[in-house]
Amino acid sequence: MSESTRIDKWLWAARFFKTRSLATNAIELGRVLQNEQRVKPAHSVKVGDVIEVQQAEQVWQVRVLRILEMRGPATLAQTMYEETLASAEKRAKAAEDRKYFREPTAQLQGRPTKRDRRQLDQTRS
């Protein structure tokens, strides 16, 4: 076990992303913050760092507990970090909101069809 590793490698080993290239892409797009700052994929992660990962609608804020460079089973990956209490509460509230309210246009891809428009008009009436 080393003291630090690349952030893209750590995110892959902690199973936030399926591949290192997906992790690298998310970092380059600014969807991953380390200690509230944008970083590059080769930036080092140390124990105690706070990492914020945005995946689709979910935002994880975790504290690094362990550094592993090899991807292992999910049970081992879960021991590499702990989610902050505020992050867990936000994700639980967002999940509950999604359960009771769905954005009517969330399933639409591109321009609505005539049938989609009629359904939207019915929900508005």
E strand map for 71-121: 81-83
Instruction: Give yes or no for a contact between 23 and 5, defined as CB atoms under 8 angstroms apart.
Output: no
pLDDT score at 69 = 82
Strand partners, 63: 50, 82
Q: How confident is the model at residue 1 (pLDDT cuts 50, 70, 90)?
A: low
Rounded to an integer, what distance in angstroms lies between the CA atom of residue 90 and that of residue 10? 24
Concatenating the DSSP letter of every residue in 46-78 gives: ETT-EEEEEETTEEEEEEE----SS---HHHHG
Across the range 20-37, mean pLDDT stands at 94
pLDDT above 70 (res 65): yes
pLDDT score at 105 = 67
Choice between 40 and 112, residue whose per-residue pLDDT is larger: 40
Q: What is the set of domains in the chain, with CATH numbers?
A: 1-88 (3.10.290.10)
